[in-house]
Amino acid sequence: MRHERLLSAATRGSVAAFFILSLSLAACGGPGGGGASGGTITIASDLPVSGTDAAVGLPTQYGVELAVSQNTDLGHGYTLKFTAKNDEGASGADPTVGAANIRSLLADPSVIAIVGPFNSGVAASEIPVAENGGIVLMSPTNTNPGLTKEQYAQANGINFSQLHPNGVKEYYFRVCATDDVQGKVDAQIAADAPISAKTAYVVDDSTTYGKGLANFFTQNFTQNGGTVVGNQSISATQVSSLPSLASTINSKNPDVVFYGGVTSQGGGALKKDLVAAGYSKAMVGGDGIADDPGWLTTAGTAAANTYGTVAAPDTSSLTSSDAAKFKTDYATFVSSKPNNALLPYSAQAYAAAQIEIAAIKSVINSGQAPTRANVRDAIASGTFNTIIGSISFDKNGDNSGQKVFSIYAVGSDGASWSFDKSVTA
């Protein structure tokens, strides 16, 4: 899903000194003219920022907001502003709501690019709208590989040709790695000490993201000699039946339970019910749960012995002077806001926004009008040095740079997530 993404080379606008961002673009000339006559340009976000998902959605949105707030003057008479959309529905991030949000943003001519969505299932609904409408979507967190890699689409319930119509340029980008890689990392966590699992029970949350990640975990776990003793799909509407599932899992006594999904779709509730049923062994999951404060709230003390991966570097590993300033600025920016934890997604979203901002500035400084199409082309051809590393994009819109995963664990008291280590895949 999510985890489920800043900048480099030739043109420098009036970027705040902190970012030291530049862009190498073969298609652009040198600075000059600024396109057209100036005006207001908007960067939007589309994220789940209410309900249980607010614990991760709002810190992600804050990363975008911070980047925009530091770059309101784009030069040449252009001003940058931010607008937010919420794709949360009645029971979690909602693909229908997300698609409607993108249509609404397309109708506003000032909106040049969007950061989001957070969930892969929402992305599957939004990408066709963005591709046909011609506006950049850049996700900090979508990890389902079928969104960009045709060989994985059908198995993940994705109509690839609908997402990527023939003859239409790619407008979807993401800065994080994908679940074909994350599933491998998760399987290794389960097999390695201290879990040392030989058997696993696999649960997914019925979403595009969750089912895909569960499938990749299963493939890698079994290829390495492990045995899956059972599997089940759940959803947020089935929380009342989870004690029964927990009892079933406990009776099979697997060495580990793998959960592919997000907290709000029943994962945290299942962890709580597993402990109540007498199951005390580990649960492993992906970026849908890892480092999520909402997991701790939902599972309570039963959250102990949970492990999760995030397809992003932990913020403690971001040690450059630019990254240090980002962390200081973020703390100040969110000090009076709700759900204001600094998460890896905060940095990823900040990075995604800064790619979009640098691309907009490069287009303006080259003398072109900052249209959606011109900004898309600048992103597709650029290399970006950012607080999370150097990023460029392949022909599918995926990050073609280094793939870093952070591993988190909940301690024995169930009170907090702690960063364990980083893995490069």
CB 351 within 8 A of CB 313: no
60 and 159 share a domain? yes
Q: Distance between CA atoms of 196 and 336, rounded to whole angstroms?
A: 43
* Under 8 Å between Cβ of 234 and 205: yes
Q: Are 172 and 165 in contact (CB under 8 A)?
A: no
> Which pLDDT belongs to residue 36?
53
380 falls within a domain: yes
Query: Is 4 domain-assigned?
Result: no
| Confidence (pLDDT) at 389 | 87
Radius of gyration of the chain (CA): 21
| Buried b or exposed e, range 52-89, using 16+ CB within 10 angstroms | bbbbbbbbbbbbbbbbbebbeebbbebebebbbbbbbb
* Cα(173)–Cα(104) distance, integer angstroms: 20
Quick one: 303 and 360 in the same domain?
Answer: no
* Model pLDDT, residue 52: 86
- Total domains in the chain come to 2
* Angle, alpha carbons 22-45-291 (nearest 5°): 90
In a domain, 6, yes or no: no
Looking at the structure, tell me whether residues 65 and 148 fall in a common domain: yes
Whether 63 and 347 have beta carbons less than 8 Å apart is answered as yes
What gap in Å lies between CA 272 and CA 276, rounded to an integer? 6
For the chain, residues with pLDDT lower than 50 are: 2-35
Pair (139, 198) in one structural domain = no
For residue 276, give both structure tokens.
Answer: 């109540």
Torsion of CA 262, 267, 271, 273, to 10 degrees: 160
Q: Which long-range contacts (CB under 8 A, 24 or more apart) does 160-166 make?
A: 162/128, 163/124, 163/127, 163/128, 163/131, 164/127, 164/131, 165/128, 165/131, 165/132
* Whole-angstrom distance, CA of residue 180 vs CA of residue 36: 44
**Residue 265 and residue 200 share a domain:** yes
Token pair recorded at residue 312: 């992003």
Residue type, 116: G
- Examine residue 149 and state whether it is found in any structural domain, yes or no: yes
Domain membership of residue 1 (yes or no) is no
Residues 145, 240: one domain? no
What is the C-alpha to C-alpha distance for residues 54 and 50, in angstroms, rounded to an integer?
5
The pTM of the whole model exceeds 0.85 = no
At residue 378's C-alpha, the angle toward residues 29 and 11, to 5°, is 45
Q: Is the same domain home to 353 and 263? A: no
- The two tokens of residue 416 are 């907090």
Residue 376 shares a structural domain with residue 330: yes
Bond into 194 cis (ω within 30) = yes
Q: Are 387 and 351 in contact (CB under 8 A)?
A: yes
CATH number at residue 234: 3.40.50.2300
CA distance 116 to 214: 23
Query: Is residue 24 situated within a structural domain?
Result: no
Based on the number of CB atoms within 10 Å of its own CB, is 405 exposed (0-12), middle (13-18) or buried (19 or more)? buried
Residues 218 and 188 grouped into a single domain? yes
Do 125 and 214 share a domain, yes or no?
A: no
Which residue range is the domain that position 93 belongs to?
39-177+315-393
68 and 186 housed in the same domain: no
What's the CA gap between 135 and 173, in Å, rounded? Answer: 11
Tokens of 292: 């999520």
Judge whether 263 and 294 are in contact, CB under 8 Å: yes
Identify the helix (H) or strand (E) that includes residue 286. none
On whether the CB atoms of residues 230 and 202 are closer than 8 A, the answer is: yes
Whole-angstrom distance, CA of residue 169 vs CA of residue 394? 13
Q: Is the peptide bond before 117 cis (omega within 30 degrees of 0)?
A: yes
Let me know whether 377 and 419 are in one domain: no
Question: Residue 208 carries which DSSP code?
Answer: H
